[in-house]
């Protein structure tokens, strides 16, 4: 059962207990039931809050790892681009030399 369904179930239980109070049933039992239901709601809220906090921490960690990975990839791409530029320049020089030799 997901958290929303559990919270809805608890709300319905609280409403049923409150309706019982209006129906003239034993007030101490109803009050105890309401207190238990409210404690359950507080427990679920705490669990959800902790889950959201853990998820946020995970996402921040993944973001940091992603940034490191992106930086590493950018560095490799930059080095490869520099190498390609050097090779292109070298090929252009060779081509110029070959063309000069053919013209002579």
Question: Which pLDDT band holds residue 80 (cuts at 50, 70, 90)?
Answer: very high
Contacts of 30 (CB under 8 A, 6+ apart): 17, 18, 20, 21
Predicted confidence at residue 88, as pLDDT, reads 92
Could you please report the per-residue DSSP string of 9-49? HHHHHHHHHHHHHHTT--HHHHHHHHHHHHHHHHHHHHHHH
pLDDT of residue 63 exceeding 90, the answer is no
- Provide, rounded to the nearest whole percent, the portion of the chain with pLDDT above 70: 84
Question: Which pLDDT band holds residue 67 (cuts at 50, 70, 90)?
Answer: confident
pLDDT digit string, tens, across residues 9-32: 888 887 777 776 655 556 667 677
Contact 21, 30 (CB under 8 A): yes
Domain boundaries, the chain: 3-103
End-to-end CA distance of the chain: 86
Round to whole Å and give the CA distance between 80 and 93: 20
Predicted confidence at residue 24, as pLDDT, reads 54
pLDDT, mean of residues 72-89: 91
Predicted confidence at residue 26, as pLDDT, reads 60
Q: What is the pTM of this model?
A: 0.45
């Amino acid at each position: 059962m997901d958290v929303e369904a559990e919270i809805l179930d608890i709300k319905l239980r609280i409403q049923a207990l409150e309706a019982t109070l209006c129906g003239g049933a034993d007030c101490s039992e109803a009050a105890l039931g309401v207190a238990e239901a409210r404690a359950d709601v507080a427990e679920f809220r705490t669990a959800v809050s902790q889950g959201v906090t853990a998820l946020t921490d995970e996402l921040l960690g993944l973001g940091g790892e992603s940034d490191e990975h992106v930086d590493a990839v950018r560095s490799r791409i930059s080095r490869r681009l520099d190498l390609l530029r050097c090779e292109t320049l070298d090929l252009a020089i060779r081509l110029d030399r070959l063309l000069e030799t053919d013209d002579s």
